[in-house]
Amino acid sequence: MLRRDPTRIELRADDLVDFERSREEYLESKAKLKDQHRKFRSATTGPPPTPAGRDLRSTTASGSGTSSGVNNSREPRPDPFEIAQQERKGKSTAERVLARATFSTYSPTCLAAVHDGKVAYTADKFPHLKRDHSFKKLSEKDISYFKSILASSSITQDEEDLEIFNSDWLRKYRGQSKLVLKPSSTEQVSKILKYCNENRLAVVPQGGNTGLVGKVEKYDKEMQKQMLHATHNAIYFITGGSVPVFDEIVVSMSSMNSIRNFDPVSGALVCDAGCILEVLDKYLEERGYIMPLDLGAKGSCHIGGNVSTNAGGLRLLRYGSLHGTVLGLEVVLPDGTILDNLSTLRKDNTGYDLKQLFIGAEGTLGIVTGVSILSPKRSKAINVALLGLNSFDQIQATFKRSKDELSEILSAFEFWDQEAIKLVKEHLVAGAKDPLQSTYPFYVLVETSGSNKDHDDYKLNNFLEGLMSDDIVQDGVVAQDTTQIHNLWAIREGIPEACSKAGAVYKYDISMPVPVLYKAVEDMKERLVSKEVIGDGKLFTSVIGYGHVGDGNLHLNVAANEFSQEATNLIEPFVFEWAAKHAGSISAEHGLGVSRNNHLHYSKSPTMIQLMIKFKQLIDPNGIMNPYKYLPDV
Ligand SMILES: Cc1cc2nc3c(=O)[nH]c(=O)nc-3n(C[C@H](O)[C@H](O)[C@H](O)COP(=O)(O)OP(=O)(O)OC[C@H]3O[C@@H](n4cnc5c(N)ncnc54)[C@H](O)[C@@H]3O)c2cc1C
């Protein structure tokens, strides 16, 4: 029999008043926000488009259709860990990192990142981080235990071999782990975590170690020198989530790389967390399917790492985020419990959706050992067009029309500004060439993927003709073959690398409502101009904007002559406050890691942060999982 619980307080009339008040407050703030958006919309309205370059040409017309200089980033790449292992003998750590780095899309940057000098320890760069003394130090007894459950080849203690696991791919973060474990089964992961939890040994789960979840905040002269040397004045934001800070044990998932099951009817793929994204995509390609996500790091990153960072990437517009495409997860909790939620069901409304907690948790709640993911059918027809436009308002109009007119075949909608194309041309990144005859304030890359080429061509042509005749778009080209498709994508994919050559670049990855997307760039420029710190011979050289319009995700890059605290203070916390003020997120894709954790309050309310801390305490009461990261320091 169901009875009312007498310990529960009864609802009173006052409570209803309170509810009503919060509802009113909520509606009021929503109305304010709407009003703000409207204002920003009108503020961004640019001058009417000037008709120019009227015809849409094929890229052949501009001579970019040759295979020379094509960015081969979409070619399959071997497993970098395998390469590193094969080449271990007789090679220095730097050479081995180099071998691994060359398989990343942004290989030139990676190559530049390799240098002879050792990277300073993360703990020295971030003096506010102190080792948690409740964690035990590794002893011989612990090693003996791990030797009893793992093959000796799955245990790494050699100092030189540890280096690759202790540092991130840009060699900016460096931990001091003395032990790497490479379990090959879920049961082994369970035994490892159970032991670590009972013995208070801290753990860092590691996938392909390509994550971007962190950035440097404080500089000293030595570090600055190292960074400049490492990347030729390049990338400011760096990883850190996947490498230890102190002596945490690294649990590398690289040996858990089997495909468990694939259902050719539903497209549900079930695999180990250590499978490399590109390997999975190739596997599916042979079966007429595709992975619902694609990123530059696909040749190295693991699906478990993708899930743990909730990676977005280039296919998000079409297939949505991992919060939607992941059907189930197998996770080992910090106490060794195996949470088997490897469902392949698309519909399941029974209880809390626990898997969602682990998507984007950056290894702080447990180790993902298995992933069930829904793969869509691979499109037979791909079209790519590059457009030149005069204003961000025109980009919005084009985006709106693309949703109306291309609808189900629209698969990517990317944009970049004049500063970005200037850098790509200046540095001729990965053979990228601008096929448009004139330069424009803005560029858009539209991709369609469908099942019927004739149908898609017809739709795309109508869409483009409409845009041209209505003066929404000033110029454009359509790729005629796969090489040209690669060439057009090479421009977009070359922007991060081109930016990295523009000086010391401060990179931000923010999301916000599309109408105010570019206003972040304009406001940043205006701020630096008003402070007279941008221009020839000044602190900053340019502000660059590009990103995924369809996802409301802006990559805001601020190029300076050198990294300095003065420069940082001019950008931060302005950029975070800006994102918060515009209902945005301070981290759209890159996550929180070791340093954005203390900025979480810009995107999440105290109530939400408190609840997150409670979840963490509930699931990981000893705090052994990936400590010092993700949640704010207490
Ligand atoms: C060239 C390049 C391009 C990129 N492009 C994009 C992009 O377009 N969009 C985007 O969103 N991101 C992008 N990224 C970042 C991207 O999020 C990561 O590269 C990728 O998702 C991380 O996977 P990984 O296996 O390398 O994980 P790692 O870097 O090893 O780890 C990342 C985090 O996940 C945790 N983790 C890893 N595996 C597990 C596991 N099995 N269980 C629990 N926790 C785990 C780690 O502890 C760490 O906190 C890019 C990175 C690079 C280098």
For residue range 259-296, what is the model confidence (pLDDT) as tens digits?
999 999 999 999 999 999 999 999 999 999 999 999 87
Percent of the chain with pLDDT over 90: 58
CATH 3.30.70.2190 in the chain, residues? 56-64+380-581
Least confident of 106-110, 208-212, 316-320, 357-361: 106-110
CATH 3.30.43.10 in the chain, residues? 73-252
| Domain 259-374, CATH class in plain words | alpha beta
Residue 312 tokens, joined:
């977005």
3-class SS of residue 246: coil
- The amino acid at residue 500 is S
Ligand 1 centroid from CA 137, angstroms: 28
pLDDT for res 219: 31
Is the pLDDT at 573 greater than 80, yes or no?
yes
Whether the Cβ atoms of residue 335 and residue 197 lie closer than 8 Å to each other: yes
Residue predicted with more confidence, 29 or 266: 266
Burial 32-71 (b: 16+ CB within 10 A, else e): eeeebbeebbeebeeeebeeebeebbebbebebbeeeebb
Q: Is 207 in the pocket of ligand 1 (CB under 6 A)?
A: yes
Which CATH number is associated with domain 56-64+380-581?
Answer: 3.30.70.2190
The interaxial angle of helices 392-401 and 453-469, nearest 10 deg, is 140
Q: Is 297 in the pocket of ligand 1 (CB under 6 A)?
A: yes
Alpha helices in 127-185 (DSSP H): 140-149, 159-166
Q: How many whole angstroms separate alpha carbon 50 and alpha carbon 440?
A: 11
pLDDT for res 493: 82
Least confident of 11-20, 196-205, 298-307, 437-446: 11-20
For residue 211, which atom of ligand 1 is closest to its CA? 29
On average, the pLDDT of the chain sits at 81
Residue length, the chain?
634
Is the pLDDT at 307 greater than 70, yes or no?
yes
Q: Is 242 in the pocket of ligand 1 (CB under 6 A)?
A: yes
Q: How many whole angstroms separate alpha carbon 277 and alpha carbon 293?
A: 9
pLDDT tens, position by position, 484-509 = 999 998 899 888 888 878 788 888 99
Q: Which of 308, 322, 597 to mutate to test the pocket of ligand 1 (most atoms within 8 A of CB)?
A: 308
Q: For residue 12, what pLDDT band results from cuts at 50, 70 and 90?
A: low
Among 19-28, 172-181, 326-335, 494-503, name the most confident range.
326-335
pLDDT for res 587: 87
Is the pLDDT at 221 greater than 70, yes or no?
no
Q: For residue 224, what pLDDT band results from cuts at 50, 70 and 90?
A: very low
Residue predicted with more confidence, 469 or 43: 469
Q: For residue 23, what pLDDT band results from cuts at 50, 70 and 90?
A: low
For residue 629, which atom of ligand 1 is closest to its CA? 49
Is the pLDDT at 115 greater than 60, yes or no?
no
Checking 348-353 for CB contacts under 8 A at 24+ apart, the result is none
CATH 3.30.465.10 in the chain, residues? 259-374
Give 184's contacts (C-beta < 8 A, 6+ positions apart).
151, 154, 255, 256
Residue nearest to atom 18 of ligand 1 (CA): 211
For residue 589, which atom of ligand 1 is closest to its CA? 11
Is the pLDDT at 20 greater than 80, yes or no?
no
Is the pLDDT at 100 greater than 80, yes or no?
no
For residue 588, which atom of ligand 1 is closest to its CA? 11
Q: Is 226 in the pocket of ligand 1 (CB under 6 A)?
A: no
pLDDT for res 500: 78
Q: How many whole angstroms separate alpha carbon 332 and alpha carbon 190?
A: 6
Q: For residue 109, what pLDDT band results from cuts at 50, 70 and 90?
A: very low
Ligand 1 centroid from CA 196, angstroms: 24
Is the pLDDT at 56 greater than 80, yes or no?
no
pLDDT for res 110: 29
Least confident of 55-69, 315-329, 337-351, 373-387: 55-69
pLDDT for res 126: 81
Give the residue from 484, 467, 294 showing the smallest Cα distance to 382: 484
> Cβ-count burial of 617 within 10 angstroms (0-12 exposed, 13-18 middle, 19+ buried)?
exposed
CATH topology of domain 73-252: 3.30.43
Give the residue from 443, 461, 543, 550 showing the smallest Cα distance to 502: 543
Q: Is 165 in the pocket of ligand 1 (CB under 6 A)?
A: no
Residue nearest to atom 48 of ligand 1 (CA): 242
Q: Which of 190, 203, 206, 371 to mutate to test the pocket of ligand 1 (most atoms within 8 A of CB)?
A: 206
